[in-house]
Amino acid sequence: MSEPDPTQPVVELREAVAVLGGFPVLAGADIRVERGEILLLQGPNGAGKTSLLRVCAGLLPLERGTGSVFGLDLASDRQSIRPRVGLLGHHNGLYRDLTVAQNVQFWGSTVGATDAEIDAAMTRLGVRDRLADVPVAKLSAGQKRRSALACLVARRAELWLLDEPHAGLDAAARDELDATLREATSVGATVMVASHELERAGALADRIVEVVGGQVRT
């Protein structure tokens, strides 16, 4: 198993080609993401934004080209990459019959997080006091998003891959989410956000790239 290289960019893809169901979803994508950055992937539906995130999470293999995350090769070191990556797509990855605290506890425990770390994750995302004992099934969309982010923090994810994170949230919940992401990058996390809402997500991002036809335009 290779060791991560701290001098490398967090994500680097070169001429990346990925295929899903026989169709090319990435067609020679090049991208480089530095540590602590919030990068917005902007583009129309079906442009390849979600596929790009799934490649970075090690869920979708590259057919051609090269790719690395934390300096680790996406082809050969996927198992080393995955624990350091958190992907939040259209789903939150929560267990609806468990409470928020039980969910955060479960995800934190998968990496051996201590009770103090789990507590701190819940405090940081503002779900510790009022929501800890509430079953996920009873939460609003925004509260579920915050709980899911608390799970990412508890399991020490360093690269956050967020697919349309503002979808379904009201204005207050969107502001809270943006503040959370900025705070996450201030303590070392790197965030890649896929969104077609340029106006909203653009204000949050440090850098914006356009994804069109499976290629990345800077």
Partner 1 sequence: MSRWQIARLVAAKDLRIERRSRVVTNQVLPFAGVTMVMFAFALDASNVLERVAPGLVWLATLFSLLLLVQRSFAVETDDGALDALRVAGVDPVAIYWGKSLALAVELAALEAVLLAAAVFLYGADVPLGGVVLLVATLLAATSGLACVGTLYGGLTAGFSGRETLLPLLVLPVVAPVLIGATRAVESALGTDGVALSEGWPWLGLLSVFAVSFGVVGALAFGPLIDEAA
List of residues contacting partner 1 (CB under 8 A): 57-59, 79-83, 85-87, 89-98, 102, 106-107, 109-112, 135-136, 151, 155, 157
Q: Report how far apart, in Å, the C-alpha atoms of 175 and of each of 15, 37, 180, 184 are.
A: 35, 18, 9, 14
Q: How far is the CB of 156 from partner 1 (least distance, A)?
A: 10
The nearer residue to partner 1, 2 or 175, going by C-beta atoms, is 2
Q: How far is the CB of 161 from partner 1 (least distance, A)?
A: 8
The nearer residue to partner 1, 139 or 204, going by C-beta atoms, is 139
Q: How far is the CB of 148 from partner 1 (least distance, A)?
A: 9
Question: Mind spelling out the 3-state secondary structure of 154-218?
Answer: HCCCCEEEEECCCCCCCHHHHHHHHHHHHHHHHCCCEEEEEECCHHHHHHHCCEEEEEECCEEEC
Q: Taking a C-beta distance cutoff of 8 angstroms, is the pair 70, 81 a contact? A: yes
**DSSP letters along 64-82, please?**
EEEEEETTEETTT-HHHHG
The nearer residue to partner 1, 59 or 208, going by C-beta atoms, is 59
The nearer residue to partner 1, 140 or 202, going by C-beta atoms, is 140
Residue 162: beta bridge partners? 88, 193
Q: How far is the CB of 134 from partner 1 (least distance, A)?
A: 12
The nearer residue to partner 1, 109 or 215, going by C-beta atoms, is 109
Six-digit token string for 62 = 């590259």
Q: How far is the CB of 198 from partner 1 (least distance, A)?
A: 26
